[in-house]
Structure 1
Amino acid sequence: MDLKAVRAFVAIADSGQFQKAAVDLGLTQQAVSKRIAALEKDLGVRLLVRTPRGADLTIDGQALLPHARVLLGAEERAVAAVRPGDRALRVDVVGRRAAPGGLVRDFHRAHPEIPLDVVTLFDGDTAVAAVRDGAVDATFRAVTLPGHRLPDGIAALPVLDEALRLCVGPGHVFARAASVTPAQLAGHRIWMPGNVPGTEWHAYYEDFAAAFGPAVDTIGPNFGLEALLDTIAGSPDLATFLSERTPHVWPAGHDLRLVPLRDPTPVYPHSLLWRTDNAHPGLTALREHLVATRPRPPEGELWLPSWAKRTPGRSASPAA
Structure 2
Amino acid sequence: MDLEAVRTFVAIAEAGQFQKAAVDLSVTQQAVSKRVAALERDLGVRLFTRTPRGAEQTIDGQAFLPHARELLRVAERAVASVRAGRRPLRVDVLTSRSAQSGLMRDFHRAHPEIELDVVMIFDVGTAVDAIRSGAIDATFRAVAMPGRPLPEDVESVRVFDEPLQLLTGPAHALAGAKSVTLAELVGHRIWMPGIVPGTEWGAYYDDLVAEFGLTIEATGPNFGSDALLDTIADTPALATFMSEQTRLVWPAGYGLRRIPVTDPTPVYPHSLLWHRDNAHPALATLRAHLAATAAAADRDAAGTWRPRWVLPH
CA contact (8 A) 1:266 1:303 kept: yes
Cα distance, 1:165–1:37 mapped onto 2, change above 3 Å: same
**Alignment-derived partner of residue 101 in structure 1:** 101
Cα shift readout 1:231-251 (whole Å, capped 9, x = no counterpart): 445655433212221123445
Instruction: Return the alpha-carbon distance in structure 2 between the equivalents of residues 181 and 83 of structure 1.
Output: 51
Instruction: Return the alpha-carbon distance in structure 2 between the equivalents of residues 113 and 172 of structure 1.
Output: 47
Cα shift readout 1:4-57 (whole Å, capped 9, x = no counterpart): 122112212211233321221122333323323433444455444555554344
Cα distance, 1:20–1:223 mapped onto 2, change above 3 Å: closer
Bigger shift: residues 192-201 or 92-101? 192-201
Instruction: Return the alpha-carbon distance in structure 2 between the equivalents of residues 166 and 131 of structure 1.
Output: 34
Q: CA deviation at 1:160?
A: 0.8
The 5 Å alignment of 1:132-147 reads 132-147=132-147
Cα distance, 1:174–1:12 mapped onto 2, change above 3 Å: same
2:146 partner SS: coil
**Alignment-derived partner of residue 33 in structure 1:** 33
Q: CA deviation at 1:201?
A: 0.9
Instruction: Return the alpha-carbon distance in structure 2 between the equivalents of residues 310 and 61 of structure 1.
Output: 65
1:271 partner SS: strand
**Alignment-derived partner of residue 128 in structure 2:** 128
Instruction: Return the alpha-carbon distance in structure 1 between the equivalents of residues 70 and 255 of structure 2.
Output: 62
**Alignment-derived partner of residue 115 in structure 2:** 115
Cα shift readout 1:86-144 (whole Å, capped 9, x = no counterpart): 44433322111111111122222223333333333323233333333343333222112
**Alignment-derived partner of residue 197 in structure 2:** 197
The 5 Å alignment of 1:37-76 reads 37-51=37-51, 53-76=53-76
Structure 1, unpaired ranges of 5+: 312-320
The 5 Å alignment of 1:155-194 reads 155-169=155-169, 172=172, 174-175=174-175, 177=177, 179-194=179-194
Runs (4+) of structure 1 exceeding 6 A deviation are none
Instruction: Return the alpha-carbon distance in structure 1 between the equivalents of residues 186 and 253 of structure 2.
Output: 29
Number of matched pairs: 311
Structure 2, unpaired ranges of 5+: none
The 5 Å alignment of 1:276-287 reads 276-287=276-287
Cα distance, 1:182–1:44 mapped onto 2, change above 3 Å: same
Equivalent position amino acid for 1:258 in 2: R
**Alignment-derived partner of residue 302 in structure 2:** 300
Given the alignment, which residue of 310, 313, 317 partners 2:312? 310
TM-score by length of 1: 0.82
Give RMSD over aligned pairs: 3.0
CA contact (8 A) 1:123 1:199 kept: yes
**Alignment-derived partner of residue 266 in structure 1:** 266
Cα shift readout 1:210-234 (whole Å, capped 9, x = no counterpart): 1111111112454433443454456
TM-score by length of 2: 0.83
